[in-house]
Structure 1
């Protein structure tokens, strides 16, 4: 079990991450009825404007928990079968035998065998950072580009399969969640964003969580500094960026208080039914975008230290921003942390990220936040 909240230890751990090189970070940690909120560093390196714990933030792939919950709500209503083939709903997007072999569940837990579209987007659309040729230039070129999800899905479906449907380990792929977005459109008649807003965000009573309607983050927020593995030096601000390149996979904007409320209600069985929650917590092995084997459920992943309690939640990165939100299995302890720098690790000659002081400082912060 965790120890009671220690505000001084949390403040010190936050400062250590800031000193290690993150311009600004903020957090909310809860233990029962006790709440600690803290912030360290700046939201704008040019003006010195400080970060605050209540800022809105792009939360990246934490969006996937919201999208998965919306799909499960539709499954509870009988509109979607988790073990039904995706070709039954979207035959034009995943045609033929693959459409029959890949189920909705396989999309949610990344065992579909569908490739990630991102590596194919640069050669096809000149849309994403191409390490081999242009470095991060395409990040600037496509700040305001509106992408069609069917075009991005087409890249992932046309690419060589990364596995047999249903086999583990799966491969983490945003293609899966763009398909889930279009699945929600197909069965509800509205947009995926409207469905997720109605069935999840509003159901949870989240006041500061929404999908972006343009390239800006509305409300008080930090600038987001992308280093792109040391190739952008000093790191540049990408807080203004069109997020249609990830859509219902990773585009949500929220606050740490809202994220903690969402995961608290989710694990209490108040967003989806307790039986649906149990399905979300059934994990398979998946190869993450960093090439590591992780356990992944239906939009949820577990996090634990040896001999310590299991936490459930998700993490996310966008250009310049990172977020992690986790809740102990019994709901008693929660942590949500956001930062305004990403990809701070340099790369070695073989392209592998090298250790950086930020890594150790962040791990220490997470330990203090989760376990005291």
Structure 2
């Protein structure tokens, strides 16, 4: 997240969402080439291999928290308070950030379906291409899958976008309606804390349990509350360090041994996940504000994944499907399956970089210049030399402004 200089990035937040997007990619590879069946099973502990392969869902919830934290934080930086939010400018910026890549993805997926490409054809009973397009554009693809079953993988990733953007449709209106922080914070707290109970009520439908609106919005609300807290105070360094350690321990416990937490807490383990992610975000923000945030050496590649998280999230299934097809065509035995994870990392990054440079950023700049309120000048801030550039912090949002 930008702090001070609008062009600055927070390396800690980039690192966190870089980890999250890598876990999403490894999860989708693991469903097809499980690390537990490769030669790594004789070298690395089983809990580590499980953590690498089966935390994609939890990683998306980390993204939800990051999204709420960044978007609410950016709104506070632009307008001073959420009560002063410019809804027109807010929607313009969301549109410019999300829609170009989404429309391009849907166009490609529609073409692949019509061409009969394997892995991309919508074939379940009750599903169709027009209805899937309507669900994706109408922000209810998660509900559509809950009613009809899973869509092909490249479509399925859009479930989180439906939750996130549905939240942000109502977010500015709620801020303007309630206006006072004393009225806005209590419902956000209730929503954030509802996560375990919302999930517990959904166990009758596996898909809807994963993709329902309320649990995802609870995670986003957690991030919004964090942005309000970060803007309201700056605790001493020891408190910030303790938050960082608590966040790291909690996140590690969920990602490395979520089964044990589930045994003790049931759906409450997801609340441990969202609150741990929030602790890390607060630590990163306050350390950056205090001038003590330094990038960890050797993790630049992971931070670059964080910067490209939206583009990689939307496009990584093209790489996954291609590599899995090649793996099976070459008759690769399961023992060497782990080797396919290495090219997956490089190819996903290259594809995400190409989409960001050739499509995402250029279209966003043009749309922000064209749409009412889409630029900083339209938000009531004097334009600068970089006014038409996307602030680097405004990136996920499966987020991600």
Does TM-score exceed 0.5, indicating one fold?
no
Higher relative contact order (CA 8 A, sep 6+): 2
Bin for the TM-score computed over the shorter chain: under 0.3
TM-score between both structures, scaled by the size of structure 1: 0.25
- Bigger radius of gyration, 1 or 2? 2
More helix by share: 2
